[in-house]
Amino acid sequence: MIPKVWNPLETNEQHIQTLQKELPIHPVFCRLLIQQGIKTIKDAKTFFYPDLKKLHDPFLMTDMNTAVDRLHLAIEQNHKILLYGDYDVDGTTSVALVYTFLKSLGVQTDFYIPDRYKEGYGISFESIDYAHQNQVDLIIAMDCGIKAEKQAKAAKHYGIDLIICDHHTPGTNLPDAFAILDP
């Protein structure tokens, strides 16, 4: 096995000291900010207090309208939604946030976080079976699914719509999902 080697980025110590004088944060955080190109107090304020007006329009993303329309339909018609998240921090926090939001609207919502040792990475067939057994109408997969071609077919076979929200690199073919959101 090849040992992992850390290659820390070099940082100008003067920049760290200058930034730390202006920000009441630990020097390690100053170093991380500088390594990300945030070298001035103005840059730091922009980073810590972003202007939401400067965010990209999410509706420029392929399938965003389709996904929003399907979610809106599910809410209007009281469809049962299963939120599927990968077991890492991206997936679990995504599920927690969306679950809390949908529950606050009174939506029939359930969630599924796979057992990483039994089900592995990505959308598992066990979760598709779980959705089918629990009369789920819509699965929203977060932080996974971009390579789940067979699982998407299984969901479609059961009449379950699948929206994939992922940020990983797709394979050669995209899954046949209702909508795919992957920047």
Low pLDDT (below 50) residues in the chain = none
Are the C-beta atoms of 64 and 160 separated by less than 8 Å?
A: no
Q: What is the pLDDT of residue 7?
A: 76
CA 74 to chain centre: 20
66, 125: one domain: yes
Q: What is the pLDDT of residue 1?
A: 61
Q: Tokens for 52, please give them.
A: 């939401």
**C-alpha to C-alpha distance for 116 and 17, rounded to whole angstroms:** 43
**C-alpha to C-alpha distance for 100 and 104, rounded to whole angstroms:** 6
Q: What is the pLDDT of residue 135?
A: 98
What does the mean pLDDT of the chain come to? 93
DSSP state for residue 58 in the 8-state scheme = G
- Residue 3 in domain: no
115, 42: one domain: no
**C-alpha to C-alpha distance for 72 and 79, rounded to whole angstroms:** 10
**C-alpha to C-alpha distance for 152 and 174, rounded to whole angstroms:** 10
170, 97: one domain: yes
CATH of the domain at 90: 3.90.1640.30
Cα distances from 170 to residues 92, 121, 164, in angstroms, run 21, 14, 11
**How many structural domains is the chain composed of?**
2
H/E stretch holding 111 reads strand 109-112
Could you report the per-residue pLDDT of 26-36, keeping only the tens digit for each? Answer: 888 888 998 98
65, 94: one domain: yes
CA 108 to chain centre: 21
132, 107: one domain: yes
Q: What is the pLDDT of residue 13?
A: 84
Give residue 153's domain range.
Answer: 58-181
Could you report the per-residue pLDDT of 117-147, keeping only the tens digit for each? Answer: 898 889 999 999 999 999 999 999 999 999 9
Which amino acid is it at 106? Answer: G
Nearby residues of 122 by Cβ (< 8 Å), 6 or more positions away = 86, 144, 145, 147, 148, 151
